[in-house]
Structure formats: C-alpha cells, structure tokens
Amino acid sequence: MPQSEDTSSAPVSLEALVSRAERAGRSAPPVEAWNPPHCGTIDMAIDENGGWSYQGSPIDRPALARLFSSVLRREADGSFVLVTPAEKLTIRVADAPFVAVEMSDEAGRLRFRTNMGDVVEADDAHPLRFEDAADDAFRPYLRVRGGLEARLTRALAFDLAQRIEERGGEAGIASGSSWFPVPLAPSALDA
C-alpha cells in the first residue's frame, strides 16, 4: 500500500475527512518536551511522496509508518529526528515529512487530512506557505505540528489555487479569519 494517496478533487465534508483520519482528535506524544541524548543516524528516510523506508526497503505497514511519524520532530538546525524519552536518531526527509491528501471546506475554514492521519485546519497556528519552485509550480505546504509540514498533493494544489482571491491588492487564500499571501509569478499578474 503506498504511503501517499491522491484523492479526487470532489468536495469533502469534515465528517468524511475525520472518519478517514486515524489520528483525528488524538494528540501526538510530547516530543517537543523530550530532550534525550542524540544517538546518531538511522538509515530511515521519507521520500518526496511521503513514503517511508528503512535501509532502502519500503515500510509497507501503514500502522508502523504512522507510529514513527508520531515521534518525528524537526530540530532547530532543520534536521529531522525520531525521538523518545530515551534517545534521538536523525533520519532523512526529501521534502516535507507529510503529504496532505484531502481537503474540506466548511464555512470558509480549510481543513486537511495527511497521509499519516492528522487532521489540521489552516489557521495562524497551522499556516499555509508557498514555496518557489524552479518550474514556477504552485507548491503549497501546511504546518501540521511543531516544525513539521505537509506538502499538498498536486490535485489539492490545483483545488487550492482556485481559491486565490485578492484583498487590498494582495493575492492570497483565506481560511476562517486567517489570510495566507500567495506569491504570484510576474506573468500571473499580467493576466
């Protein structure tokens, strides 16, 4: 079973999104409060599509990948570690550790489900950001928890792009009372 899933762009209700999210309503372990000694690097990686591997072999058990994701933390230097109260191990992450695979829009509040079962509302604590891509692609990310982000699937990026509006001369996307400015390519401003 692939770690990353791409769902259709049909509207999704919040109830449907939560019903498919195993972590909905459950908080992650308090990894930010744990300060164990660093024990080195482990040959574990998360690829650009959210797939987990160990020593080059895919982790095909989704429950195991979700367990590892629950103890994942981003360090101040930008590295990613698996952390327990007793030890901390560095892993490789190609892009963002999570992939947002579904989106719900109810009453103007955008909520996302990740491939690891988190449900997150885009708000000031969980902002959307837009990275400049070499190919001028629209590449949105959502903060999930701590310094961990989810990259939106291509289908969700297209859906999100449809929501760009202008306020006071600035392009952006609204979710509830939060506003997320969207940098547009110069060619988009001429359209």
Among the ranges given (17-26, 33-42, 68-77, 154-163), the one the predictor scored with the smallest mean pLDDT:
17-26
Q: Tally Cβ neighbours within 10 Å of residue 86.
A: 9
From the list 91, 110, 106, 187, the residue with the least C-alpha distance to 156 is 110
Ramachandran sector of residue 78 (left: φ over 0; alpha: ψ -120 to 50; beta: rest): left
Q: pLDDT for 162-181, tens place per residue?
A: 999 999 889 999 999 999 99
- Residue 161: phi, psi to the nearest 5? -60, -30
Residue type, 30: P
Give the predicted TM-score (pTM) of the model: 0.81
Distance CA 139, CA 63 (A): 28
| CB contact at 8 A, 94 and 51 | no
Taking only the tens place, the pLDDT of each residue in 111-154 is 999 999 899 999 999 999 998 766 667 899 999 998 999 999 99
Rounded CA gap, 191 and 78, in Å? 37
Q: Which residues contact 91 (CB under 8 A, 6 or more apart)?
A: 41, 42, 44, 45, 46, 72, 80, 81, 82
